[in-house]
Amino acid sequence: MHEVSLVRELNRLVEQEAAVRHFSKVERVHVSLGAHACVSETSLRFAFESLRVGIMAEAELDVRMVQAKGVCHACGARAVMVERISQCAACGGVMLPQGGDEMRITELEVI
Amino acid sequence: MCGTCGCGHTENHHEHDHAHEHHQHGHDTEKRRISVELDLLDRNRTFAAENRAWFDKHRIFVLNVVSSPGSGKTTLLAAMIRAQADKYEVSVIEGDQQTTLDAERIAEAGARVHQINTGNMCHLDAHMVGHALEHLQPTDDSVLVIENVGNLICPAAFDLGEHLRVALISVTEGEEKPLKYPDMFAGSQAVIINKCDLLPHLNFDMAQCRDNIHRINPDAAIFELSATSGEGVCDWLQWLASARAKQHKGKQVQGAA
């Protein structure tokens, strides 16, 4: 549900960037989302399509999901965490996510 | 660096020579793809850091209490306020979508309170908390409790500048809740299992619930209590007092399984 406030922030950041980088229209926004960012891609897309305004009014959204890496709480082994709740392949310990909560705009296609 | 042409500039994009392979029209109508590094949570992080710096300057210990709606956050807070009245001042920021009902219950318990109505927002953010502080003006050396909007998903993403995040679940919600909403439990240093006075009437597997919490957050300190009967509240308050003392000594608060 907080996808709405994220899209408002996205609009704000892109407007700011437009003033600095001199563009007047955004055709596509590329967003990178961590697997544990507490964001649903579907909801983000819905919020984006409902709330895009100004220079973003006709923009498309491109979402790239980023896998989270994890470290074992018991033995320190590192691995990609496919599931949010997972055990260490080496010792069965609890895997703790390292990052994976990012929500970043990485690229803009602009005019 | 400029993402379009690698010119090293972040602004004044028009100044360099663009004679190469361009059409008749200028840069303004040129389609281009630019690299940016814009973090959607950066603004919240900045506000959260400002809040935290202010809390530390005034030695105010701050909790962010999160749970589903109806887990008993306000009842627990009222119990804490009554129990701690002679030890330290407690003030409260109440987050709810609508109404001041919770704020009224907190005020009745004897704490200063400021209500934030989030309207269509599902969480509190650090900016709202910063403005609430202007109204509430918590005193030096006090404890501030931020009662977040009842929601186990969205508040997980928003640092408010707190020292401790406390997740609350009630035994009526079932022992699987931590597995269903892992992010909230992963980010909480303490988990309170509330409404334990109802256990005789329920099929709630406490050992399984504790195990589920530790499967997500092995370091979480877990407290079983009933905010209504008061049972177990003392242990929680003792732990909280030691966490507060550690914070004031500049140590990171850690859970104590």
Residue of B29, B34, B36, B47 best to disrupt the A interface, most CBs of A under 10 A: B36
Dihedral of CA A64/A9/A100/B33: which sign? positive
Query: Is residue A94 scored above 80 in pLDDT?
Result: yes
pLDDT digits (tens, 9 = 90+) for A48-79: 999 998 999 999 999 999 988 999 999 999 99
Q: Shortest Cα distance from A46 to chain B (angstroms)?
A: 16
Backbone angles phi, psi at B11, to 5 degrees: -140, -170
What is the spatial distance between Cα A38 and Cα B129, in angstroms, rounded to a whole number? Answer: 21
A60 forms beta bridges with A28
Could B39 and A102 be called an inter-chain contact, meaning their C-beta atoms sit closer than 8 Å? Answer: yes
Tokens read off for B126 = 């650090």
The continuous run of DSSP H or E covering A54 comes out as: none
Check residue B16 and give its pLDDT: 41
Please tell me the total number of residues recorded for chain A in this structure. 111
Counting residues of chain B whose pLDDT is more than 70, the rounded percentage is 86
Check residue B27 and give its pLDDT: 53
- Cβ under 8 Å to B: A residues 25-84: 27, 36-39, 73, 84
Residue B51 DSSP SS3: helix
pLDDT digits (tens, 9 = 90+) for B124-161: 999 999 999 999 999 999 999 999 999 988 888 899 99
A1 CB within 8 Å of a chain B CB: yes
Nearest to A104 among B30, B37, B153 (CB): B37
**B2: closest chain A residue by CA:** A21
**B211: closest chain A residue by CA:** A94
Report yes or no: A27 and A110 within 8 Å, Cβ to Cβ: yes
Q: What is the pTM (predicted TM-score) of this model?
A: 0.84
pLDDT, mean over chain B: 87
Query: Is residue A103 scored above 60 in pLDDT?
Result: yes
Query: What pLDDT band is residue B252 in, cutting at 50, 70 and 90?
Result: low
Average pLDDT over residues B108-131: 91
Neighbouring residues of B86: CB distance < 8 A, sequence distance ≥ 6? none
pLDDT digits (tens, 9 = 90+) for A19-44: 999 999 999 999 999 988 878 889 99
Can you tell me the ipTM of this complex?
0.87
Query: Is residue B13 scored above 50 in pLDDT?
Result: no
pLDDT digits (tens, 9 = 90+) for B214-239: 999 999 999 999 999 999 999 999 99
Average pLDDT over residues B166-188: 95
pLDDT digits (tens, 9 = 90+) for B54-91: 999 999 999 999 999 999 999 999 999 999 878 889 99
Query: Is residue B23 scored above 70 in pLDDT?
Result: no
Cα-based torsion angle of the residue sequence B62, B67, B73, B74 in order, rounded to the nearest 10 degrees: 100
Q: Backbone dihedral region of B169: left (phi > 0), alpha (psi from -120 to 50 degrees) or beta?
A: beta
Neighbouring residues of A17: CB distance < 8 A, sequence distance ≥ 6? A108, B36, B38
Backbone angles phi, psi at B145, to 5 degrees: -110, 125
Could B157 and A1 be called an inter-chain contact, meaning their C-beta atoms sit closer than 8 Å? Answer: no
Kindly list the strands in the beta sheet with B32-39, ordered across the sheet, starting from the edge strand earlier in the chain: A60-66, A26-34, A103-110, B32-39
Helices (H), chain B: 42-57, 73-84, 101-109, 126-136, 177-180, 182-186, 206-216, 233-248
Check residue A3 and give its pLDDT: 87
Check residue B4 and give its pLDDT: 29
Neighbouring residues of B55: CB distance < 8 A, sequence distance ≥ 6? B61, B62, B144, B161, B163
Check residue B25 and give its pLDDT: 45
Check residue B178 and give its pLDDT: 95
Check residue B256 and give its pLDDT: 42
pLDDT, mean over chain A: 92
Neighbouring residues of B234: CB distance < 8 A, sequence distance ≥ 6? B83
Tokens read off for A74 = 């018991």
Tokens read off for A46 = 């819905």
CA angle B227, B232, B237 (to 5 degrees): 85
